[in-house]
Chains A and B, each alone.
Chain A
Amino acid sequence: MELTATTTIRKPAPEVYAFWRDLENLPTFMAHLEEVRATGDRTSHWSAAAPFGTSVAWDAEIIEEVPADKIAWRSTGDADVPNAGTVRFVPAPDGVSTEVHVVLVYEIPGGAVGKAVAKYFGEEPHQQLDDDLRRLKQVLETGEVVRSDGAPWGKRARKEFPQRPAQPLSDAELEKGADA
Protein backbone atom coordinates (compact mmCIF):
# COMPACT_ATOMS: atom_id res chain seq x y z
CA MET A 1 0.00 0.00 0.00
CA GLU A 2 1.37 3.39 -1.00
CA LEU A 3 0.12 6.57 0.67
CA THR A 4 0.93 10.08 -0.47
CA ALA A 5 0.06 13.40 1.12
CA THR A 6 1.21 16.98 0.95
CA THR A 7 0.87 20.21 2.88
CA THR A 8 2.37 23.70 2.83
CA ILE A 9 3.97 25.07 5.98
CA ARG A 10 4.79 28.74 6.45
CA LYS A 11 8.36 28.09 7.59
CA PRO A 12 11.61 27.87 5.60
CA ALA A 13 12.67 24.45 4.26
CA PRO A 14 15.76 24.09 6.51
CA GLU A 15 13.57 24.48 9.62
CA VAL A 16 10.93 21.99 8.45
CA TYR A 17 13.66 19.57 7.37
CA ALA A 18 15.44 19.85 10.73
CA PHE A 19 12.23 19.12 12.63
CA TRP A 20 11.55 15.98 10.59
CA ARG A 21 15.17 14.86 10.60
CA ASP A 22 14.93 14.68 14.39
CA LEU A 23 12.84 11.52 14.03
CA GLU A 24 11.92 11.60 17.71
CA ASN A 25 9.56 14.47 16.77
CA LEU A 26 7.44 12.26 14.50
CA PRO A 27 5.11 10.92 17.24
CA THR A 28 4.03 14.48 18.11
CA PHE A 29 2.00 14.57 14.90
CA MET A 30 1.82 11.03 13.47
CA ALA A 31 -1.20 9.41 15.07
CA HIS A 32 -0.09 5.78 14.90
CA LEU A 33 3.39 6.31 16.37
CA GLU A 34 4.00 6.01 20.08
CA GLU A 35 7.72 6.53 20.13
CA VAL A 36 10.70 6.89 17.85
CA ARG A 37 14.09 6.62 19.51
CA ALA A 38 17.34 7.42 17.71
CA THR A 39 19.79 4.52 18.14
CA GLY A 40 22.54 5.95 15.97
CA ASP A 41 23.13 8.76 13.50
CA ARG A 42 21.00 7.06 10.85
CA THR A 43 19.31 4.27 12.78
CA SER A 44 16.25 4.37 14.99
CA HIS A 45 13.75 2.22 16.86
CA TRP A 46 10.03 2.83 16.23
CA SER A 47 6.95 1.68 18.14
CA ALA A 48 3.36 2.03 17.06
CA ALA A 49 0.01 2.24 18.83
CA ALA A 50 -2.33 -0.62 19.62
CA PRO A 51 -4.31 -0.86 16.35
CA PHE A 52 -1.27 -2.49 14.74
CA GLY A 53 -1.53 -5.24 17.34
CA THR A 54 0.11 -5.26 20.73
CA SER A 55 3.32 -3.27 20.92
CA VAL A 56 4.43 -3.41 17.33
CA ALA A 57 8.02 -2.23 17.07
CA TRP A 58 10.68 -2.20 14.41
CA ASP A 59 14.06 -0.75 13.54
CA ALA A 60 14.60 1.69 10.71
CA GLU A 61 17.46 3.38 8.94
CA ILE A 62 17.78 6.55 6.95
CA ILE A 63 18.89 5.60 3.46
CA GLU A 64 19.17 9.05 1.95
CA GLU A 65 19.34 12.56 3.34
CA VAL A 66 19.87 15.85 1.56
CA PRO A 67 19.71 18.78 4.02
CA ALA A 68 16.68 21.07 3.51
CA ASP A 69 15.59 18.88 0.61
CA LYS A 70 14.88 15.20 1.23
CA ILE A 71 14.88 12.34 3.75
CA ALA A 72 14.24 8.67 2.89
CA TRP A 73 14.07 5.79 5.35
CA ARG A 74 13.05 2.13 5.51
CA SER A 75 12.44 -0.49 8.13
CA THR A 76 15.19 -3.03 8.69
CA GLY A 77 15.33 -6.58 10.01
CA ASP A 78 12.11 -8.61 10.23
CA ALA A 79 9.53 -5.87 10.82
CA ASP A 80 5.95 -7.18 11.14
CA VAL A 81 4.91 -4.58 8.58
CA PRO A 82 7.90 -3.73 6.42
CA ASN A 83 7.66 -0.06 5.51
CA ALA A 84 9.53 2.79 3.90
CA GLY A 85 9.05 6.51 3.55
CA THR A 86 10.28 9.53 1.69
CA VAL A 87 9.69 13.16 2.47
CA ARG A 88 10.69 16.02 0.19
CA PHE A 89 10.82 19.69 1.19
CA VAL A 90 10.15 22.06 -1.70
CA PRO A 91 10.23 25.85 -1.39
CA ALA A 92 6.73 27.21 -2.18
CA PRO A 93 6.22 29.96 -4.79
CA ASP A 94 5.44 32.53 -2.05
CA GLY A 95 9.11 32.61 -1.09
CA VAL A 96 8.39 31.94 2.61
CA SER A 97 6.69 28.57 2.83
CA THR A 98 7.72 24.97 2.27
CA GLU A 99 5.75 22.27 0.49
CA VAL A 100 6.08 18.94 2.28
CA HIS A 101 5.52 15.91 0.04
CA VAL A 102 5.35 12.53 1.79
CA VAL A 103 5.22 8.99 0.37
CA LEU A 104 4.81 6.02 2.71
CA VAL A 105 4.90 2.43 1.52
CA TYR A 106 3.66 -0.48 3.65
CA GLU A 107 4.05 -4.14 2.73
CA ILE A 108 0.92 -5.49 4.27
CA PRO A 109 1.28 -9.12 5.30
CA GLY A 110 -1.45 -11.74 5.42
CA GLY A 111 -2.99 -13.02 8.62
CA ALA A 112 -4.05 -11.18 11.74
CA VAL A 113 -1.46 -8.40 11.49
CA GLY A 114 -2.48 -7.61 7.91
CA LYS A 115 -6.14 -7.47 8.92
CA ALA A 116 -5.38 -5.17 11.85
CA VAL A 117 -3.42 -2.83 9.58
CA ALA A 118 -6.20 -2.76 6.98
CA LYS A 119 -8.77 -2.05 9.68
CA TYR A 120 -6.64 0.71 11.11
CA PHE A 121 -6.36 2.54 7.81
CA GLY A 122 -10.04 2.01 7.02
CA GLU A 123 -11.72 2.89 3.76
CA GLU A 124 -9.74 6.06 3.22
CA PRO A 125 -6.17 5.16 4.12
CA HIS A 126 -4.71 8.42 2.82
CA GLN A 127 -6.86 10.34 5.33
CA GLN A 128 -4.62 9.26 8.18
CA LEU A 129 -1.56 10.74 6.55
CA ASP A 130 -3.43 13.93 5.57
CA ASP A 131 -4.36 14.38 9.24
CA ASP A 132 -0.76 13.70 10.31
CA LEU A 133 0.49 16.48 8.04
CA ARG A 134 -2.21 18.86 9.27
CA ARG A 135 -0.85 18.33 12.78
CA LEU A 136 2.75 18.75 11.59
CA LYS A 137 1.67 22.14 10.21
CA GLN A 138 0.00 23.04 13.54
CA VAL A 139 3.08 22.10 15.52
CA LEU A 140 5.50 24.02 13.30
CA GLU A 141 3.32 27.09 12.76
CA THR A 142 1.66 27.41 16.18
CA GLY A 143 3.81 25.38 18.58
CA GLU A 144 1.46 22.49 19.38
CA VAL A 145 -1.46 20.36 18.24
CA VAL A 146 -4.67 22.36 18.58
CA ARG A 147 -7.31 20.96 20.95
CA SER A 148 -11.02 21.67 21.18
CA ASP A 149 -13.60 20.53 23.69
CA GLY A 150 -15.10 18.21 21.07
CA ALA A 151 -11.65 16.81 20.18
CA PRO A 152 -9.53 17.40 23.27
CA TRP A 153 -6.88 14.72 22.80
CA GLY A 154 -4.87 16.19 19.98
CA LYS A 155 -3.67 13.55 17.57
CA ARG A 156 -6.32 11.07 18.58
CA ALA A 157 -9.06 13.36 17.23
CA ARG A 158 -9.96 11.09 14.36
CA LYS A 159 -10.85 8.22 16.64
CA GLU A 160 -13.20 10.48 18.55
CA PHE A 161 -16.17 10.45 16.17
CA PRO A 162 -18.88 10.91 17.21
CA GLN A 163 -17.15 13.44 19.42
CA ARG A 164 -17.81 14.38 22.99
CA PRO A 165 -20.02 17.48 23.24
CA ALA A 166 -18.43 20.92 22.87
CA GLN A 167 -18.32 21.64 26.59
CA PRO A 168 -15.43 21.60 29.07
CA LEU A 169 -14.07 18.28 30.33
CA SER A 170 -14.93 17.10 33.82
CA ASP A 171 -12.23 16.31 36.38
CA ALA A 172 -12.88 12.62 35.83
CA GLU A 173 -12.46 12.91 32.06
CA LEU A 174 -9.27 14.93 32.46
CA GLU A 175 -7.88 12.36 34.85
CA LYS A 176 -8.66 9.43 32.58
CA GLY A 177 -7.11 11.27 29.67
CA ALA A 178 -7.03 10.14 26.08
CA ASP A 179 -7.46 6.45 26.82
CA ALA A 180 -10.83 6.82 28.55
Chain B
Amino acid sequence: MRANTWAGRNKVEVRDVPDPRILNNRDAIVRITSTAICGSDLHLVDGYVPTMQNGDILGHEFMGEVIEVGSGVPADKLRVGDRVVVPFPIACGACAACAAELYSCCENTNPNAVIAEKMFGHPVAGIFGYSHLTGGFAGGQAQYARVPFADVGPLRIESDLTDEQVLFLSDILPTGYMGAEMCDIQPSDVVAVWGAGPVGQFAMDSARVLGAAKVIAIDKEPYRLRMAEQAGHIPVNFDEVDVRSMLLELTGGRGPDKCIDAVGLEADHGSAHIAAYDRVKQAVRSETERPHALRQAILSCRSGGVVSVIGVYGGLLDKFPAGAWMNRSLTLRTGQCHVQRYMEPLLGRIERGEIDPTRIITHTLPLDEAERGFEIFKNKQDDCEKVVLKP
Protein backbone atom coordinates (compact mmCIF):
# COMPACT_ATOMS: atom_id res chain seq x y z
CA MET B 1 0.00 0.00 0.00
CA ARG B 2 0.96 3.68 -0.18
CA ALA B 3 1.69 5.50 3.07
CA ASN B 4 3.09 8.84 4.17
CA THR B 5 6.20 8.30 6.28
CA TRP B 6 8.65 10.27 8.40
CA ALA B 7 11.92 10.47 6.47
CA GLY B 8 14.05 12.48 8.89
CA ARG B 9 13.74 15.96 10.29
CA ASN B 10 11.61 18.25 8.11
CA LYS B 11 11.02 15.50 5.58
CA VAL B 12 8.08 13.26 4.79
CA GLU B 13 7.86 10.79 1.94
CA VAL B 14 5.01 8.77 0.47
CA ARG B 15 6.31 5.22 -0.02
CA ASP B 16 5.20 1.68 -0.80
CA VAL B 17 5.00 -0.36 2.40
CA PRO B 18 3.50 -3.76 3.29
CA ASP B 19 -0.25 -3.97 3.96
CA PRO B 20 -1.20 -4.23 7.63
CA ARG B 21 -2.18 -7.55 9.18
CA ILE B 22 -4.04 -8.56 12.33
CA LEU B 23 -1.44 -8.88 15.14
CA ASN B 24 -3.71 -9.01 18.20
CA ASN B 25 -7.09 -10.69 18.16
CA ARG B 26 -9.00 -7.51 19.03
CA ASP B 27 -7.52 -5.73 15.96
CA ALA B 28 -9.40 -4.60 12.89
CA ILE B 29 -8.06 -3.55 9.50
CA VAL B 30 -9.58 -0.37 8.09
CA ARG B 31 -9.48 0.75 4.46
CA ILE B 32 -8.98 4.47 4.84
CA THR B 33 -11.27 6.81 2.92
CA SER B 34 -10.17 10.12 4.48
CA THR B 35 -7.27 11.17 6.66
CA ALA B 36 -5.85 14.51 7.74
CA ILE B 37 -2.66 16.32 8.64
CA CYS B 38 -2.65 17.56 12.24
CA GLY B 39 -0.72 20.43 13.77
CA SER B 40 0.88 17.90 16.10
CA ASP B 41 2.25 16.04 13.05
CA LEU B 42 4.31 19.17 12.48
CA HIS B 43 5.92 18.76 15.92
CA LEU B 44 7.01 15.26 14.84
CA VAL B 45 8.25 16.39 11.46
CA ASP B 46 10.03 19.41 12.93
CA GLY B 47 11.94 17.00 15.16
CA TYR B 48 10.64 18.18 18.55
CA VAL B 49 9.32 14.77 19.57
CA PRO B 50 12.02 12.17 20.23
CA THR B 51 11.95 8.49 19.19
CA MET B 52 10.83 8.98 15.56
CA GLN B 53 12.36 6.51 13.11
CA ASN B 54 12.86 6.71 9.39
CA GLY B 55 9.90 4.95 7.79
CA ASP B 56 7.36 5.53 10.58
CA ILE B 57 3.90 5.95 9.02
CA LEU B 58 2.40 9.26 10.16
CA GLY B 59 -1.20 10.22 10.81
CA HIS B 60 -3.65 9.88 13.67
CA GLU B 61 -6.82 11.41 12.18
CA PHE B 62 -8.49 8.87 9.91
CA MET B 63 -11.67 7.04 9.03
CA GLY B 64 -12.78 4.39 6.61
CA GLU B 65 -14.34 1.01 6.13
CA VAL B 66 -13.66 -2.10 8.22
CA ILE B 67 -12.38 -4.84 5.91
CA GLU B 68 -11.23 -7.41 8.48
CA VAL B 69 -11.77 -8.03 12.20
CA GLY B 70 -9.80 -10.22 14.61
CA SER B 71 -11.36 -13.18 16.40
CA GLY B 72 -11.65 -11.21 19.65
CA VAL B 73 -13.89 -8.45 18.27
CA PRO B 74 -17.56 -9.18 19.14
CA ALA B 75 -19.91 -8.83 16.15
CA ASP B 76 -22.19 -6.45 18.04
CA LYS B 77 -19.25 -4.05 18.40
CA LEU B 78 -17.80 -4.05 14.90
CA ARG B 79 -18.26 -5.94 11.65
CA VAL B 80 -16.69 -6.02 8.22
CA GLY B 81 -18.30 -3.29 6.13
CA ASP B 82 -18.86 -0.87 9.04
CA ARG B 83 -17.95 2.76 8.34
CA VAL B 84 -15.91 4.05 11.26
CA VAL B 85 -14.04 7.07 12.60
CA VAL B 86 -10.98 5.98 14.60
CA PRO B 87 -10.00 7.90 17.76
CA PHE B 88 -6.29 8.76 17.95
CA PRO B 89 -5.57 7.37 21.44
CA ILE B 90 -5.54 3.57 21.51
CA ALA B 91 -7.42 2.46 24.62
CA CYS B 92 -8.06 -1.01 26.08
CA GLY B 93 -11.32 -0.16 27.85
CA ALA B 94 -10.42 -2.37 30.81
CA CYS B 95 -7.75 -0.65 32.93
CA ALA B 96 -8.35 1.85 35.73
CA ALA B 97 -7.63 4.82 33.43
CA CYS B 98 -10.18 3.63 30.86
CA ALA B 99 -12.70 2.91 33.62
CA ALA B 100 -12.29 6.57 34.61
CA GLU B 101 -12.71 7.59 30.93
CA LEU B 102 -9.09 8.82 30.84
CA TYR B 103 -8.52 7.02 27.55
CA SER B 104 -5.36 8.86 26.49
CA CYS B 105 -3.77 7.61 29.72
CA CYS B 106 -4.68 3.95 29.03
CA GLU B 107 -2.32 1.74 31.03
CA ASN B 108 -2.13 -1.15 28.58
CA THR B 109 -1.82 0.05 24.99
CA ASN B 110 1.74 1.35 24.88
CA PRO B 111 4.27 -1.46 24.33
CA ASN B 112 6.98 1.15 24.87
CA ALA B 113 5.61 2.24 28.23
CA VAL B 114 9.12 2.13 29.64
CA ILE B 115 10.22 5.06 27.42
CA ALA B 116 7.14 7.11 28.21
CA GLU B 117 7.56 6.37 31.90
CA LYS B 118 11.11 7.72 31.85
CA MET B 119 10.01 10.96 30.19
CA PHE B 120 6.67 11.53 31.89
CA GLY B 121 6.92 9.70 35.22
CA HIS B 122 4.11 7.33 34.28
CA PRO B 123 3.32 5.85 30.87
CA VAL B 124 0.67 7.14 28.44
CA ALA B 125 -1.55 5.37 25.91
CA GLY B 126 -0.46 4.21 22.49
CA ILE B 127 -1.24 6.68 19.69
CA PHE B 128 -1.35 6.01 15.95
CA GLY B 129 1.57 7.41 13.96
CA TYR B 130 2.96 9.43 16.82
CA SER B 131 6.52 8.27 17.61
CA HIS B 132 7.79 5.22 19.44
CA LEU B 133 7.29 7.04 22.74
CA THR B 134 3.58 6.39 22.24
CA GLY B 135 4.01 2.80 21.16
CA GLY B 136 5.41 2.71 17.62
CA PHE B 137 2.01 2.18 15.99
CA ALA B 138 1.75 2.78 12.23
CA GLY B 139 -0.42 5.78 11.46
CA GLY B 140 -3.38 6.54 9.25
CA GLN B 141 -1.93 8.63 6.42
CA ALA B 142 -2.09 5.46 4.37
CA GLN B 143 -4.45 3.30 2.35
CA TYR B 144 -5.00 0.88 5.24
CA ALA B 145 -4.41 0.78 8.97
CA ARG B 146 -4.43 -1.81 11.70
CA VAL B 147 -6.65 -0.62 14.56
CA PRO B 148 -5.97 -2.34 17.92
CA PHE B 149 -8.82 -2.69 20.45
CA ALA B 150 -11.26 -2.17 17.60
CA ASP B 151 -14.10 -3.15 19.94
CA VAL B 152 -13.34 -0.14 22.17
CA GLY B 153 -12.33 2.83 20.03
CA PRO B 154 -13.90 3.18 16.58
CA LEU B 155 -17.21 5.04 16.25
CA ARG B 156 -19.64 3.59 13.71
CA ILE B 157 -21.21 6.15 11.38
CA GLU B 158 -24.62 4.87 10.35
CA SER B 159 -26.07 8.07 8.90
CA ASP B 160 -25.26 9.59 5.52
CA LEU B 161 -22.99 12.33 6.89
CA THR B 162 -19.99 12.96 4.63
CA ASP B 163 -16.44 11.99 5.59
CA GLU B 164 -15.65 15.70 5.91
CA GLN B 165 -18.43 16.14 8.50
CA VAL B 166 -17.25 13.33 10.79
CA LEU B 167 -13.51 12.85 10.12
CA PHE B 168 -12.46 15.36 12.80
CA LEU B 169 -14.21 13.34 15.52
CA SER B 170 -10.92 11.38 15.43
CA ASP B 171 -9.01 14.14 17.20
CA ILE B 172 -9.30 17.87 16.69
CA LEU B 173 -13.02 18.38 17.32
CA PRO B 174 -13.00 16.44 20.62
CA THR B 175 -9.67 18.07 21.50
CA GLY B 176 -11.07 21.56 20.98
CA TYR B 177 -14.24 20.59 22.81
CA MET B 178 -12.35 19.17 25.79
CA GLY B 179 -10.37 22.42 25.94
CA ALA B 180 -13.63 24.32 26.35
CA GLU B 181 -15.21 21.75 28.65
CA MET B 182 -12.25 21.93 31.04
CA CYS B 183 -13.04 25.67 31.36
CA ASP B 184 -16.31 24.92 33.15
CA ILE B 185 -17.94 27.70 31.15
CA GLN B 186 -20.58 29.94 32.77
CA PRO B 187 -23.00 32.15 30.78
CA SER B 188 -21.14 35.32 31.78
CA ASP B 189 -17.72 34.02 30.70
CA VAL B 190 -15.37 35.65 28.24
CA VAL B 191 -13.18 32.90 26.79
CA ALA B 192 -9.89 33.70 25.06
CA VAL B 193 -8.30 31.10 22.78
CA TRP B 194 -4.62 31.30 21.84
CA GLY B 195 -4.16 29.81 18.37
CA ALA B 196 -6.68 29.96 15.53
CA GLY B 197 -5.51 26.75 13.91
CA PRO B 198 -7.97 23.86 13.52
CA VAL B 199 -8.00 22.88 17.23
CA GLY B 200 -8.31 26.52 18.29
CA GLN B 201 -11.24 27.08 15.91
CA PHE B 202 -13.04 24.07 17.38
CA ALA B 203 -12.26 25.20 20.93
CA MET B 204 -13.89 28.54 20.04
CA ASP B 205 -16.98 26.89 18.51
CA SER B 206 -17.23 24.61 21.53
CA ALA B 207 -16.96 27.52 23.98
CA ARG B 208 -19.84 29.16 22.15
CA VAL B 209 -21.89 25.94 22.16
CA LEU B 210 -21.23 25.60 25.90
CA GLY B 211 -22.67 29.06 26.45
CA ALA B 212 -19.78 31.55 26.68
CA ALA B 213 -20.84 35.22 26.44
CA LYS B 214 -17.89 36.15 24.24
CA VAL B 215 -15.10 34.22 22.52
CA ILE B 216 -11.79 35.82 21.55
CA ALA B 217 -9.36 34.40 18.96
CA ILE B 218 -5.65 35.26 19.29
CA ASP B 219 -3.34 34.57 16.34
CA LYS B 220 -1.22 36.48 13.86
CA GLU B 221 -2.40 34.98 10.56
CA PRO B 222 -5.04 37.30 9.09
CA TYR B 223 -6.75 34.46 7.21
CA ARG B 224 -7.08 32.35 10.36
CA LEU B 225 -8.46 35.31 12.28
CA ARG B 226 -10.90 36.02 9.43
CA MET B 227 -12.07 32.42 9.64
CA ALA B 228 -12.68 32.81 13.38
CA GLU B 229 -14.44 36.12 12.85
CA GLN B 230 -16.73 34.60 10.22
CA ALA B 231 -17.72 31.99 12.82
CA GLY B 232 -18.70 34.79 15.21
CA HIS B 233 -15.56 35.09 17.36
CA ILE B 234 -13.58 38.27 18.11
CA PRO B 235 -10.17 38.39 16.39
CA VAL B 236 -7.03 39.74 18.08
CA ASN B 237 -3.87 39.89 15.96
CA PHE B 238 -0.78 39.76 18.19
CA ASP B 239 1.37 41.07 15.36
CA GLU B 240 -0.69 44.26 15.29
CA VAL B 241 -1.82 44.93 18.84
CA ASP B 242 -0.60 44.35 22.38
CA VAL B 243 -2.53 41.27 23.47
CA ARG B 244 -2.71 42.18 27.15
CA SER B 245 -4.07 45.67 26.50
CA MET B 246 -6.58 44.36 24.00
CA LEU B 247 -7.80 41.62 26.35
CA LEU B 248 -8.19 44.19 29.15
CA GLU B 249 -10.10 46.43 26.77
CA LEU B 250 -12.40 43.61 25.67
CA THR B 251 -13.15 42.56 29.27
CA GLY B 252 -13.47 45.91 31.05
CA GLY B 253 -10.11 45.36 32.72
CA ARG B 254 -10.99 41.98 34.27
CA GLY B 255 -9.10 39.73 31.89
CA PRO B 256 -10.71 36.70 30.23
CA ASP B 257 -12.49 34.41 32.69
CA LYS B 258 -11.23 31.34 30.89
CA CYS B 259 -8.12 30.97 28.70
CA ILE B 260 -7.35 28.14 26.30
CA ASP B 261 -3.83 27.42 24.98
CA ALA B 262 -4.37 25.78 21.58
CA VAL B 263 -0.80 26.46 20.47
CA GLY B 264 1.61 24.30 22.46
CA LEU B 265 5.32 23.88 22.22
CA GLU B 266 6.20 25.86 19.10
CA ALA B 267 4.57 29.19 19.87
CA ASP B 268 5.48 32.32 17.94
CA HIS B 269 6.05 35.42 19.93
CA GLY B 270 5.37 39.11 19.52
CA SER B 271 8.33 40.06 21.70
CA ALA B 272 11.64 39.42 19.99
CA HIS B 273 14.01 39.05 22.94
CA ILE B 274 11.91 36.44 24.76
CA ALA B 275 11.32 34.56 21.51
CA ALA B 276 15.07 34.51 20.90
CA TYR B 277 15.68 33.26 24.44
CA ASP B 278 13.26 30.35 23.98
CA ARG B 279 14.51 29.52 20.50
CA VAL B 280 18.10 29.26 21.67
CA LYS B 281 17.15 27.18 24.71
CA GLN B 282 15.05 24.91 22.50
CA ALA B 283 17.77 24.61 19.87
CA VAL B 284 20.33 23.41 22.42
CA ARG B 285 17.63 21.19 23.94
CA SER B 286 17.92 22.66 27.42
CA GLU B 287 14.26 23.55 27.03
CA THR B 288 12.03 21.53 24.73
CA GLU B 289 9.17 24.02 24.51
CA ARG B 290 8.60 27.59 23.38
CA PRO B 291 5.76 28.17 25.78
CA HIS B 292 4.86 31.76 25.04
CA ALA B 293 1.12 31.22 24.57
CA LEU B 294 0.87 29.42 27.89
CA ARG B 295 2.74 32.16 29.77
CA GLN B 296 0.57 34.86 28.25
CA ALA B 297 -2.62 32.90 28.98
CA ILE B 298 -1.65 32.56 32.65
CA LEU B 299 -0.74 36.24 33.00
CA SER B 300 -3.91 37.37 31.17
CA CYS B 301 -6.49 35.21 32.92
CA ARG B 302 -8.63 36.92 35.55
CA SER B 303 -7.99 35.92 39.17
CA GLY B 304 -9.74 32.67 40.02
CA GLY B 305 -10.04 31.78 36.32
CA VAL B 306 -9.18 28.61 34.45
CA VAL B 307 -6.29 28.10 32.02
CA SER B 308 -6.98 25.06 29.84
CA VAL B 309 -4.09 23.59 27.85
CA ILE B 310 -4.75 21.51 24.74
CA GLY B 311 -1.73 22.61 22.73
CA VAL B 312 0.85 19.83 22.84
CA TYR B 313 3.83 19.87 25.21
CA GLY B 314 6.37 17.08 25.29
CA GLY B 315 9.07 17.92 27.78
CA LEU B 316 10.31 20.79 29.89
CA LEU B 317 9.73 24.51 29.83
CA ASP B 318 11.33 27.55 31.37
CA LYS B 319 10.02 30.70 33.02
CA PHE B 320 6.71 29.21 34.07
CA PRO B 321 4.78 32.05 35.77
CA ALA B 322 4.18 30.11 38.97
CA GLY B 323 3.69 33.31 40.97
CA ALA B 324 0.73 34.44 38.88
CA TRP B 325 -0.72 30.96 38.93
CA MET B 326 -0.47 30.56 42.70
CA ASN B 327 -1.17 34.04 43.99
CA ARG B 328 -4.15 34.64 41.73
CA SER B 329 -5.89 31.32 42.41
CA LEU B 330 -5.75 30.10 38.83
CA THR B 331 -6.73 26.57 37.90
CA LEU B 332 -4.57 24.89 35.27
CA ARG B 333 -6.24 21.98 33.49
CA THR B 334 -4.91 19.89 30.64
CA GLY B 335 -4.69 16.52 28.93
CA GLN B 336 -4.30 14.72 25.65
CA CYS B 337 -7.89 14.41 24.58
CA HIS B 338 -9.87 11.43 25.86
CA VAL B 339 -11.47 11.20 22.43
CA GLN B 340 -13.60 8.10 23.10
CA ARG B 341 -15.47 10.08 25.78
CA TYR B 342 -16.61 12.76 23.32
CA MET B 343 -17.20 11.04 19.97
CA GLU B 344 -20.85 10.11 20.38
CA PRO B 345 -22.07 13.34 21.98
CA LEU B 346 -20.21 15.40 19.38
CA LEU B 347 -21.61 13.27 16.55
CA GLY B 348 -25.01 14.28 17.93
CA ARG B 349 -24.04 17.96 17.85
CA ILE B 350 -22.90 17.59 14.23
CA GLU B 351 -26.15 15.83 13.27
CA ARG B 352 -28.17 18.61 14.93
CA GLY B 353 -26.16 21.27 13.10
CA GLU B 354 -24.74 22.84 16.28
CA ILE B 355 -21.15 22.48 15.06
CA ASP B 356 -19.99 22.44 11.42
CA PRO B 357 -16.56 20.77 11.34
CA THR B 358 -16.22 21.26 7.57
CA ARG B 359 -15.74 25.02 7.94
CA ILE B 360 -12.01 24.64 8.57
CA ILE B 361 -11.13 22.51 5.52
CA THR B 362 -9.17 24.56 3.02
CA HIS B 363 -7.34 21.84 1.06
CA THR B 364 -8.15 18.34 -0.12
CA LEU B 365 -5.28 16.45 -1.75
CA PRO B 366 -4.56 12.91 -2.87
CA LEU B 367 -2.45 10.94 -0.35
CA ASP B 368 0.40 10.91 -2.84
CA GLU B 369 0.65 14.70 -2.43
CA ALA B 370 1.09 14.50 1.34
CA GLU B 371 4.51 16.11 1.10
CA ARG B 372 3.03 19.19 -0.52
CA GLY B 373 0.23 19.14 2.05
CA PHE B 374 2.77 19.27 4.90
CA GLU B 375 4.66 22.04 3.14
CA ILE B 376 1.71 24.39 2.69
CA PHE B 377 0.24 23.61 6.12
CA LYS B 378 3.53 24.17 7.90
CA ASN B 379 4.34 27.37 6.06
CA LYS B 380 0.75 28.61 6.17
CA GLN B 381 0.81 29.04 2.40
CA ASP B 382 -2.28 29.51 0.29
CA ASP B 383 -4.30 30.37 3.44
CA CYS B 384 -3.99 26.75 4.55
CA GLU B 385 -5.98 25.86 7.66
CA LYS B 386 -6.64 22.12 7.31
CA VAL B 387 -5.52 19.52 4.80
CA VAL B 388 -7.60 16.40 4.16
CA LEU B 389 -5.86 13.59 2.28
CA LYS B 390 -7.63 11.03 0.11
CA PRO B 391 -5.84 7.67 -0.18
In the bound complex, how far is the Cα of B20 from the Cα of A135, in angstroms? 23
- Closest-CB distance, B355 to chain A (whole angstroms): 32
B129-137, B292-300, B346-354: which lies at the interface: B129-137
Tell me if B360 is interfacial: C-beta within 8 Å of chain A.
Answer: no
A157–B112 contact, CB under 8 A? yes
Residue B366 at the chain A interface, CB threshold 8 Å: no
Minimum CB–CB distance for B100 against chain A, Å: 10
A168 and B111 within 8 A (CB): no
| Chain B contacts for A131, CB-based, 8 A | 114
| Interface pair B139/A166, CB less than 8 Å apart | yes
Quick one: which of B108-150 are within 8 Å of A by CB? Answer: 108-114, 126, 129, 132, 135-139, 146, 148-149
Interface residues on B, range: 35 or more
Q: Chain A contacts of B18 at CB under 8 A?
A: 167-171
Interface-facing stretch out of A21-29, A61-69, A138-146:
A138-146
B94 x A141 contact (CB < 8 A): yes
A151 lies within 8 A of B112 (CB): yes
Give chain A nearest CB distance to B138 CB in angstroms.
Answer: 4
Contact status A157-B111, CB under 8 Å: yes
Complex Cα gap A127–B113 (Å): 11
Are B24 and A144 in touch, CB under 8 angstroms?
yes
Number of chain A interface residues as a range: 20 to 34
Q: Which residues of A contact B5 (CB under 8 A)?
A: 165, 167
Whether a CB of chain B sits under 8 angstroms from the CB of A134 is: yes
A150 at the interface (CB under 8 A from B): yes
Contact of A151 among B25, B92, B99, B136 (CB under 8 A): B136
Given the known inter-chain contacts A131-B114, A166-B57, please indicate yes or no for A148 contacting B92, CB distance below 8 A: no
* List of A residues within 8 angstroms of B94 by Cβ: 10, 141-142
Chain B residues within CB distance 8 Å of chain A: 3, 5, 17-21, 23-26, 53-57, 72, 92, 94-96, 99, 107-114, 126, 129, 132, 135-139, 146, 148-149
10 A-B pairs besides A143-B72, A150-B112 with CB distance below 8 A are: A134-B114, A138-B108, A146-B110, A147-B148, A148-B136, A149-B57, A151-B135, A152-B23, A163-B112, A168-B20
